[in-house]
Amino acid sequence: MAKKREEAVNMQEQFSFFNEEKKIDKTTLISVMEESFRSVLAKMFGNDDNFDVIVNPDKGDCEIYQNLEVVPDGEVENPNKQIGLSEAQADDDPDCEVGEEHTRKIDFAKFGRRAILNLRQTLASKILDLQKDAIYNKFKDLEGELVSGEVYQLWKREVLLIDDEKNELLLPKDQQIPTDIYRKGDNVRAVIHRVDNTNNNPKIIVSRTSEEFLRRLFELEVPEIHDGLIVIRAVARIPGVRAKIAVESYDDRIDPVGACVGVKGARIHGIVRELRNENIDVIPYTSNESLLMQRALSPAKITSIRLDPETKRAEVFVRPEEISLAIGAKGLNIKLASQLTGYEIDVFRDNDNDVDDIYLDEFKDEIDEWVIDAIKNMGIARAKQLLATPREEIIEKADLEEDTVDYVLQVVQAEFDE
């Protein structure tokens, strides 16, 4: 009997463990414990219909009562649901009568060690399922958020990280920056890429190569982004090599590029180090696609651009000496510009043989500079290209008055008439 009592005590300690260590709320714990007891009772008695299970999670114990029908002595057909009158009266119910219900308190420890082990296994299984559901729901809601973990195990195709709450995070090879080197015990930051739940076995996949990782690092380092004063409009990355981001400020007093870079590059340097010296170009965002294209292809200087919004293709013209800058080493600059703008970009050598053509900047003595800039934002940098563009298109895309456009066309045309 002492051994059985000891098993019951151990069971109470286990309930307390689930409550305190596994962070299961009281309502859920009560429900799980009741289901576990009823599951064992159903196996022992055929069903649990005539049992009352009262759980006390604060004490980590449970009271069980069996409700039996009182029948005349010698007429008990089902001892699991019936009790003789004399036995019921002797069981602390002297006033009971035939036909009434007699409630008997059950000492679960008396059912033996096997029943207690069965209860323990059932309870542990249900708690484990609850934990898995809680982990999946928690991290599913956190997809795209920044997390950190300690390197616990290194494998060929992935790295296992453990966060502060002992949750396992998997960092696959294809989500690692190519120049990353990990050692056991290192602290690693990443974003939650996705959460799989095959066969109720949640797997938390994290990434250091996704665009979201770069976004979250900027939110962490740049308070204006965290506070919503600056927003990241577009991101393009080649992990560990180079990245471009387009930022916009909701406050005219804040320079979005300057805020992201920081004084003497203090803010962006921390991000660059985290990304293993990945070069980051920060450009001001604009809804003007031609102007955004020019900024995205920086440091190359564009002479003219032709965009086809339907096919999402762009023809970019640059001076011969600017072609290598536009394309970039190993084609990285043009690739990132394409990702950032959403256009497939083709770079062409500008026709410098046309000695009669003139850059619009040469008309600044006769045309206001802001007007020239508005036309250049369309991707038009030369006089003949301007004259070849329909008047209505210039009015619409450059957002200029009709009289202004007519004056500009008159001034430019007069240069060639002479």
3-state helix, strand, coil in the chain (%, to 5): 45, 25, 30
168's enclosing H/E stretch is: strand 168-172
DSSP-derived 3-state class of residue 283? strand
pLDDT at site 16: 56
pLDDT at site 357: 72
In this prediction, residue 1 has a pLDDT band, given cuts at 50, 70 and 90, of: very low
What one-character-per-residue DSSP string does 314-338 give? Answer: EEEEE-GGGHHHHH-GGGHHHHHHH
Alpha-carbon span 228 to 244, nearest angstrom: 20
Burial of 118 (0-12, 13-18, 19+ CB in 10 A): middle
Peptide bond into 223 cis (omega under 30): no
Q: Is the pLDDT of residue 352 over 80?
A: no
Alpha-carbon span 399 to 3, nearest angstrom: 90
pLDDT at site 80: 86
Q: pTM for this structure?
A: 0.67
In this prediction, residue 356 has a pLDDT band, given cuts at 50, 70 and 90, of: low
Residue 62, number of CB atoms within 10 A of its CB: 22
202 contacts 132 by C-beta, under 8 angstroms: yes
In this prediction, residue 25 has a pLDDT band, given cuts at 50, 70 and 90, of: low
Closest CA to 309 of 379, 391, 387, 400: 379
Task: Name the least confident of 207-211, 269-273, 307-311.
Answer: 307-311
Residues with Cβ within 8 Å of residue 387, at least 6 apart in sequence: 409, 412, 413, 416
Report phi then psi at 221, rounded to 5. -90, -25
- What is the average pLDDT across 88-103? 86
Burial of 284 (0-12, 13-18, 19+ CB in 10 A): middle
pLDDT at site 8: 43
For all residues of the chain together, what is the average pLDDT? Answer: 86
Q: Is the pLDDT of residue 342 over 90?
A: yes
Establish how many alpha carbons lie within 13 A of residue 147's alpha carbon, considering only the half-sphere containing its beta carbon: 29
Q: Which residue has the tokens 């036309």?
A: 375
> Could you tell me the sign of the dihedral formed by the alpha carbons of 381, 385, 386, 391, in that order?
negative
Residues with Cβ within 8 Å of residue 300, at least 6 apart in sequence: 318, 322, 323, 325, 326, 333
Task: Name the least confident of 24-28, 144-148, 274-278.
Answer: 24-28
| Beta strand extents in 174-294 (DSSP E only) | 187-198, 201-207, 230-238, 242-249, 279-284
For 230-247, write each residue's pLDDT tens digit: 999 999 999 999 999 999
Alpha-carbon span 416 to 418, nearest angstrom: 5
In this prediction, residue 9 has a pLDDT band, given cuts at 50, 70 and 90, of: very low
- What is the average pLDDT across 378-395? 85
240 contacts 178 by C-beta, under 8 angstroms: yes
- What percentage of the chain has pLDDT greater than the value 70? 91
pLDDT at site 119: 76
Q: Is the pLDDT of residue 187 over 50?
A: yes
Task: Name the least confident of 20-34, 61-75, 353-367, 389-403.
Answer: 20-34
* Long-range Cβ pairs for the range 353-358 (8 Å, 24+): 354/384, 356/384, 356/416, 357/382, 357/383, 357/384, 358/382, 358/383, 358/384, 358/412, 358/415
In this prediction, residue 222 has a pLDDT band, given cuts at 50, 70 and 90, of: very high
Burial of 353 (0-12, 13-18, 19+ CB in 10 A): exposed
Q: Is the pLDDT of residue 19 over 60?
A: no
Which residues pair with residue 313 across a beta bridge?
308, 344
Which residues pair with residue 392 across a beta bridge?
none
Alpha-carbon span 15 to 39, nearest angstrom: 17
In this prediction, residue 44 has a pLDDT band, given cuts at 50, 70 and 90, of: confident
